[in-house]
């Protein structure tokens, strides 16, 4: 063979139809979305021609009718849109994957406003999804041009017939003869569920006739909302509108904390509403749900690729006409448009937090406890988010009030510059908190394990700042003017009663003379323990190495009890040892909860002391 030959790959219907029937979509239910979308396109095209003056519209309202006939085993979708001539039917229906929407856009592109608006597309391969559930599909269609009506019939093996039809009204009627093994699609509840999922917000009114007998006074109602909230201007929407929409879409009886209405123009061109849901407790699932739409047509139930993983608790809807209707997850993961949409969402969330803080500080503080963990995590994962929101991140104080980080550090300049003192357990650490607050130092309340991780991140981004738990340090402002006299004998005794010969004992004269001794654990040591705990909670494999706990016992030389122990060391060493042991256990109790063995020993000593006092 001396000459090059060129040609196109041909596909026979007997080869492709079995593939379409079984593998066209991962979910068979999508066939109804495709057929109704085609009907919507047919009406949108006719509206477009009318707006261009190429068609004189009559007074008949545009509509789509879905009819179920269980006895005849048919499901019908009918529109009063643009219709097709015989030539168009052969071109768009008899040629697989030749999209009528693409042809239409090419023909009318640039005339008036963007001719892309509202065209869902793909009247080609999508139409053949009907054969996933049907043995035979019929089309009765009549063009708006008043050309003769056409009747098309095709069996599941790909053989079709075309003949003249007596249809007198403009539009297209698609009749699906449901196959015996897909009888579930003849159930009214199933079809209604599919329409609610895929067609609830399509831009043309859709009416469903399930074949049941209607009551005389029963008015006909569309099953869809043709102007969903996200298509409206935010200034036209009330809080009640947003709440009602949330309840309707997510079937969540609780009210969301607040919402973010997005209306992005060129070049992103997408709309949506995102909600911060209310989480009842820390054990509740925090995975949100973002529904993806394409020109008001449902595409997917929870597209995680469009939302950064640190904002996955959001619930909402996004309408992205720049994405293909039959979008895949692999496409979303690599598409630059999706990355830009994601970045825009992050910016809008940050902007919303800032505007709430500035415009309604009281309301912002009310929701802060619910959103704090999400905001902290977002800041840890995305430095840009931190830079946008750092001035509106609140610290909750033990008295229930809030300060942002800058205000807290500014107010602390005179007594503990660049240091944020916090508690993770106000009850257990009450003694420490009281010491600090008595000196005018305000204490921040951390109530989630993530808080300390966030603190470490904040330290790295705020020059000179430190976050220190109240039982990890003795601030200079807590120390008195008296001289702290060290005692080797008392140090040795405390090492003995603690069971730790290497216990670090430090003598300080504190302003609060009522506290004989306190036990501190260094901030670094505690954070390491927290990291180990979080590692185990998240399913980390293998055993993490045990790190020694860096503890320091502070002996308050200004305390009368410490002075008494000093006097007893020579006169009654046994009593001195008992008192030292009991005081040490009290210092441990203020630091952490006792083990069962420690609690039993502590109670035994308490009962003994009470007995001696009662003599």
Q: DSSP letter string over 111-163? A: SSS-TTTT----TTTGGGGGGGTEEEEEEEEE-TT-PPPEEEEEETTS-EEEE
In this prediction, residue 127 carries a pLDDT of: 86
3-class DSSP state for residue 59?
coil
In this prediction, residue 22 carries a pLDDT of: 67
Of 47-56, 63-72, 227-236, minimum mean pLDDT range: 47-56
How confident is the model over 182-189, as a mean pLDDT? 96
Residue 569 has pLDDT above 90, yes or no: no
Of 16-25, 84-93, 106-115, 373-382, minimum mean pLDDT range: 106-115
Q: Which long-range contacts (CB under 8 A, 24 or more apart) does 374-377 make?
A: 374/276, 374/286, 374/310, 374/311, 374/313, 376/450, 376/451, 376/454, 377/310, 377/450, 377/454
In this prediction, residue 24 carries a pLDDT of: 63
The structure tokens listed for 32 are 């109804």
In this prediction, residue 513 carries a pLDDT of: 86
The structure tokens listed for 489 are 């004998």
In this prediction, residue 273 carries a pLDDT of: 97
How confident is the model over 414-436, as a mean pLDDT? 89
Of 102-116, 198-212, 564-578, minimum mean pLDDT range: 102-116
Q: What is the pLDDT of residues 298-350, one digit of tens each?
A: 988 877 778 888 888 899 999 998 877 666 666 676 778 888 999 999 999 99
Phi then psi dihedrals of residue 506, to 5 deg: -125, 135
Residue 204 has pLDDT above 60, yes or no: yes
Q: What is the pLDDT of residues 473-501, one digit of tens each?
A: 787 778 877 777 888 888 888 898 888 88
Residue 603 to residue 601: CA distance in whole angstroms: 6
Residue 520 has pLDDT above 90, yes or no: no
Query: Is the CATH code 2.130.10.10 the one for domain 229-365?
Result: no
Residue 246 has pLDDT above 50, yes or no: yes
Q: Which fold has domain 483-515+545-615?
A: 1.20.120
Relative orientation angle of helices 30-51 and 100-108, to the nearest 10 degrees = 20
In this prediction, residue 279 carries a pLDDT of: 74
In this prediction, residue 98 carries a pLDDT of: 45
Q: Which long-range contacts (CB under 8 A, 24 or more apart) does 305-309 make?
A: 305/329, 305/332, 305/333, 305/338, 305/342, 306/332, 306/338, 306/341, 306/342, 306/345, 307/342, 307/345, 308/342, 308/345, 308/346, 308/378, 308/381, 308/382, 309/381
3-state helix/strand/coil string of 576-607: HHHHHHHHHHHHHHCCCCCCHHHHHHHHHHHH
Beta bridge partner(s), residue 543: none
Q: How confident is the model at residue 410 (pLDDT cuts 50, 70, 90)?
A: very high
Q: How confident is the model at residue 281 (pLDDT cuts 50, 70, 90)?
A: low
Give span(s): CATH 3.30.565.10, the chain. 13-209
Phi then psi dihedrals of residue 61, to 5 deg: -65, 145
How confident is the model over 584-597, as a mean pLDDT? 83
Q: How confident is the model at residue 121 (pLDDT cuts 50, 70, 90)?
A: very low
What CATH class does 13-209 carry? alpha beta
Do residues 421 and 409 lie in contact, with contact meaning Cβ atoms separated by under 8 Å?
A: no
Give the predicted TM-score (pTM) of the model: 0.80
Average pLDDT value over all residues in the chain: 84
Residue 181 has pLDDT above 80, yes or no: yes
In this prediction, residue 568 carries a pLDDT of: 83
Give span(s): CATH 1.20.120, the chain. 483-515+545-615
Give span(s): CATH 3.30.230.80, the chain. 229-365
In this prediction, residue 289 carries a pLDDT of: 87
**By percentage, how much of the chain surpasses pLDDT 90?**
43
Residue 543 has pLDDT above 70, yes or no: no
Q: Between 107 and 137, where is the model more confident? A: 137
In this prediction, residue 46 carries a pLDDT of: 94
Q: How confident is the model at residue 552 (pLDDT cuts 50, 70, 90)?
A: confident
């Amino acid at each position: 063979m001396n000459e090059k030959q060129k040609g196109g790959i041909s596909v026979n219907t007997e080869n492709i139809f079995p593939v379409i029937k079984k593998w066209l979509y991962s979910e068979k239910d999508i066939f109804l979305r495709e057929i109704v979308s085609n009907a919507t396109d047919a009406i949108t095209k006719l509206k477009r021609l009318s707006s261009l003056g190429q068609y004189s519209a009559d007074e008949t309202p545009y509509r789509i009718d879905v009819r179920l006939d269980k006895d005849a085993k048919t499901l019908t979708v009918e529109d009063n849109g643009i219709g097709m001539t015989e030539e168009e039917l052969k071109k768009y229906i008899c040629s697989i994957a030749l999209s009528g929407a693409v042809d239409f856009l090419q023909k009318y592109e640039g005339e008036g406003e963007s001719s892309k608006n509202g065209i869902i597309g793909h009247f080609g391969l999508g139409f053949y999804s009907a054969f996933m559930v049907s043995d035979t599909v019929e089309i009765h269609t009549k063009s708006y041009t008043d050309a003769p009506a056409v009747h098309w019939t095709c069996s599941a093996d790909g053989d079709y017939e075309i003949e003249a039809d007596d249809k007198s009204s403009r539009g297209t009627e698609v009749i699906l003869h449901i196959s015996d093994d897909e009888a579930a699609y003849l159930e009214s509840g199933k079809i209604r569920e599919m329409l609610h999922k895929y067609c609830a917000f399509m831009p043309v009114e859709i009416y469903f006739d399930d074949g049941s007998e209607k009551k005389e006074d029963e008015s006909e109602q569309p099953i869809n909302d043709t102007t969903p909230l996200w298509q409206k201007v935010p200034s036209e929407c009330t809080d009640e509108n947003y709440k009602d929409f949330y309840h309707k879409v997510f079937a969540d009886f609780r009210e969301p904390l607040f919402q973010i209405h997005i209306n992005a123009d060129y070049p992103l061109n997408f709309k949506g509403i995102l909600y911060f849901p209310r989480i009842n407790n820390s054990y509740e699932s925090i995975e949100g749900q973002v529904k993806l739409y394409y020109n008001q047509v449902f595409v997917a139930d929870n597209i995680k690729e469009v939302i950064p993983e640190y904002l996955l608790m959001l619930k909402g809807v996004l309408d992205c006409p720049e994405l293909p209707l039959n979008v895949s997850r692999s496409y979303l993961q690599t598409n630059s448009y999706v990355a830009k949409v994601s970045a825009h969402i992050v910016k809008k969330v940050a902007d919303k937090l800032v505007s709430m803080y500035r415009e309604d500080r009281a309301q912002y503080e009310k929701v802060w406890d619910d959103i704090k963990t999400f905001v902290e995590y977002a800041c840890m994962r995305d430095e840009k988010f931190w830079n946008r929101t750092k001035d509106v991140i609140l610290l909750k104080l033990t008295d229930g009030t809030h300060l942002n980080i800058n205000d807290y550090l500014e107010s602390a300049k005179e007594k503990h510059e660049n240091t944020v003192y916090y508690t993770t357990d106000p009850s257990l650490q009450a003694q420490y908190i009281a010491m600090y607050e008595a000196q005018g130092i305000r204490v921040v309340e951390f109530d989630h394990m993530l808080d300390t991780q966030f603190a470490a991140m904040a330290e790295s981004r705020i020059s000179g700042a430190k976050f220190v738990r109240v039982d990890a340090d003795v601030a200079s402002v807590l120390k008195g003017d008296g001289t702290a006299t060290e005692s080797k004998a008392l140090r040795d005794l405390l090492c003995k009663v603690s069971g730790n010969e290497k216990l670090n004992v430090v003598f300080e004269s504190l302003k609060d003379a009522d506290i004989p001794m306190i036990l501190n654990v260094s901030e670094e040591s505690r954070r390491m323990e927290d990291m180990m705990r979080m590692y185990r909670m998240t399913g980390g494999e293998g055993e993490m190495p045990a790190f020694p706990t860096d503890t320091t016992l502070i002996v308050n030389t200004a305390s009368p009890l410490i002075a008494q122990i000093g006097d007893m060391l020579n006169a009654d060493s046994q009593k001195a040892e008992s008192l030292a042991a009991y005081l040490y256990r009290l210092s441990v109790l203020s630091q952490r909860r006792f083990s069962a063995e420690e609690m039993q020993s502590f109670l035994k000593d308490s009962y003994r002391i009470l007995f001696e006092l009662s003599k």
